[in-house]
């Protein structure tokens, strides 16, 4: 690792950190005016708690050791993080410093992953329950799944986690982050229950300006998310950057076109959601595909997620801000499409990375991707459900009906986002949306 590599990864880590406030604005604008501060605080709570949990035990459990299923506590509490420590022949360039850099960069991923779940449980979850849920979920769900895909790499440069060692690919977290958080969101909303009045009452975004600003910040930060995952300033980082740019554009365009054909309108919410869907889909594939593949992946994800967000009305689960439809479906689409588009010859990784079906690899990689995602779905859904049930039967997870009506900003935080006149206009907008139909999204009903 050169000084330039280290500098790029530090910048990329800062970009990924910036994504969490971006997500807070994105979700906050999509929510109703009386809950916007609660929504923002749920993301910022992850910024406060996850770094502490991460350095205490999370990173060590997710990456240390040479077992197949979980790490050990060898690196707990930043043990062995001396910047002069040599880790082994495969990682011998300032090994301790490189390891500390990994803690920093990968810790930003750990922060935003549970924050994604907050969008699904918006409007009705007790903040105290959320405060406990976040560190539990990081340790019990996020760390084990991370180890299965990436574990052991920082020990000697080889993956020992059982899915990664089989050949499953996940460049920057499609399975570990998006599929994982997406299916956990479904588990959460099933235990938590529906919002009052849903789906009869509409719950439209109260501030599309915040939504678009948040989407722009997410797109900007995602270049660090994906290109930084090369962990070097090299050709793979450049290609991952390009792939992220193209996939987001293709997905946003595809979603917009589908909405225009279906409903007769190009909507800002559709474009913003499409951009995020494309970024989600390219995340697992960013360092494995080339050429026109990111455009195909983005376009497929844009169309798939556009239709997926409306499944909640048919299946009757109240995913407030479409985390399941965008992150779970988008992550699954991108992860599976690696099995078609993986091109190791382009990246010089022949022999270490399996080629996809379109590059002469048959169905081997596709089946490995399917296995990794099925296992993640089952594990994450089961353990997340148990965490929510434990909280439900101890401290409680849902606010009262009165609190839901008055808004979580006042009830949970004793604050309001807007002055009285602005608050009145926002509440009028909320009421108009409630009277206009059953959907959060224009024309989706």
User: 284 vs 177, 185, 312, 369, CA distance in Å?
Assistant: 9, 19, 25, 10
- What secondary structure, in 3-state letters, does 173-197 show? CHHHHHHHHHHHHHHHHHHHCCCCC
Classify burial at 14, counting beta carbons within 10 Å of its beta carbon; exposed 0-12, middle 13-18, buried 19 or more. Answer: middle
pLDDT digits over 20-41, tens only?
999 999 999 999 999 999 999 9
CA gap 305, 275 in Å, rounded: 11
Is there a domain that residue 179 lies in? yes
Q: Using the predicted structure, report yes or no on whether residue 428 has a pLDDT greater than 90.
A: no
User: 22 vs 67, 113, 231, 234, CA distance in Å?
Assistant: 36, 13, 23, 27
How many Cβ atoms sit within 10 Å of the Cβ of residue 145?
Answer: 27
Is there a domain that residue 98 lies in? yes
Is there a domain that residue 435 lies in? no
Is there a domain that residue 416 lies in? no
How much is the pLDDT for 90?
46
Q: Looking at the whole model, is its pTM more than 0.85?
A: yes
Is there a domain that residue 105 lies in? yes
How much is the pLDDT for 115?
98
- Whether the CB-CB separation of 197 and 430 falls below 8 Å is answered with no
Torsional sign, CA 76, 79, 85, 88: negative
CATH number, residue 235: 1.10.3430.10
- Whether the CB-CB separation of 429 and 207 falls below 8 Å is answered with no
How much is the pLDDT for 430?
62
Is there a domain that residue 19 lies in? yes
CA gap 244, 227 in Å, rounded: 8
Which ranges of 264-351 would DSSP assign to H, the alpha helix?
268-282, 293-308, 311-315, 323, 329-341, 344-347
Is there a domain that residue 441 lies in? no
Structural domain of 149: 3-402
How much is the pLDDT for 429?
60
- Whether the CB-CB separation of 55 and 107 falls below 8 Å is answered with yes
How much is the pLDDT for 439?
45
CA gap 90, 123 in Å, rounded: 49
Tokens 């990436």 found at: 150
Is there a domain that residue 81 lies in? yes
pLDDT digits over 369-418, tens only?
999 999 999 999 999 999 999 999 999 999 999 999 999 999 999 999 99
Give the number of domains in the chain. 1
Pair of tokens at residue 357: 């079906």
Terminal alpha carbon distance of the chain: 53
């Amino acid at each position: 690792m050169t000084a330039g590599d280290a500098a790029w990864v530090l910048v990329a880590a800062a970009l990924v950190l910036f994504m969490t406030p971006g997500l807070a604005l994105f979700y906050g604008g999509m929510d109703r005016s009386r809950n916007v501060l609660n929504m923002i605080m749920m993301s910022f709570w992850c910024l406060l708690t996850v770094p502490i949990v991460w350095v205490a035990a999370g990173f060590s459990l997710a990456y240390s050791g040479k077992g197949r299923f979980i790490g050990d506590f060898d690196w707990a509490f930043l043990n062995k993080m001396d910047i002069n420590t040599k880790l082994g022949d495969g990682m011998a360039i300032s090994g301790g410093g490189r390891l500390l850099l990994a803690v920093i960069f990968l810790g930003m991923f750990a922060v935003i992953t549970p924050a994604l779940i907050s969008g699904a449980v918006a409007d009705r979850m007790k903040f105290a329950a959320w405060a406990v849920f976040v560190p539990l979920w990081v340790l019990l769900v996020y760390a084990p799944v991370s180890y299965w895909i990436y574990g052991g790499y920082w020990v000697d440069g080889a993956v020992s986690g059982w899915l990664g060692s089989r050949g499953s690919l996940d460049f920057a977290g499609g399975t570990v982050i998006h599929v994982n958080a997406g299916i956990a969101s479904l588990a959460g909303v099933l235990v938590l229950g529906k919002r009052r009045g849903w789906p009869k009452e509409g719950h439209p975004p109260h501030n599309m300006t915040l939504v678009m600003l948040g989407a722009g910040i997410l797109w900007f930060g995602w270049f660090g998310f994906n290109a930084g995952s090369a962990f070097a300033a090299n050709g793979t980082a450049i290609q991952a950057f390009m792939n992220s740019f193209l996939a987001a554009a293709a997905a946003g365009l595809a979603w917009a076109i589908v909405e225009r054909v279906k409903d007769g309108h190009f909507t800002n919410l559709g474009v913003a959601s499409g951009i995020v869907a494309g970024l989600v889909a390219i995340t697992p594939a960013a360092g494995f595909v080339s050429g026109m593949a990111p455009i195909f992946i983005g376009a497929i994800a844009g169309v798939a997620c556009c239709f997926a967000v409306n499944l909640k009305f048919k299946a009757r689960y109240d995913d407030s801000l479409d985390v399941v439809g965008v992150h779970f479906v988008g992550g699954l689409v991108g992860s599976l499409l690696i099995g078609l588009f993986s091109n190791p010859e382009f990246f010089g990784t022949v022999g270490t990375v399996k080629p996809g079906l379109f590059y002469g690899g048959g169905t081997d990689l596709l089946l490995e991707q399917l296995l990794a995602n099925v296992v993640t779905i089952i594990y994450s859904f089961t353990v997340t459900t148990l965490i929510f049930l434990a909280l439900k039967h101890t401290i409680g997870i849902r606010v009262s009906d009165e609190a839901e009506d008055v808004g979580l900003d006042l009830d949970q935080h004793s604050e309001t986002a807007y002055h009285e006149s602005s608050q009145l206009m926002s509440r009028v907008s909320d009421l108009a949306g409630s009277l206009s139909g059953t959907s959060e999204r224009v024309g989706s009903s």
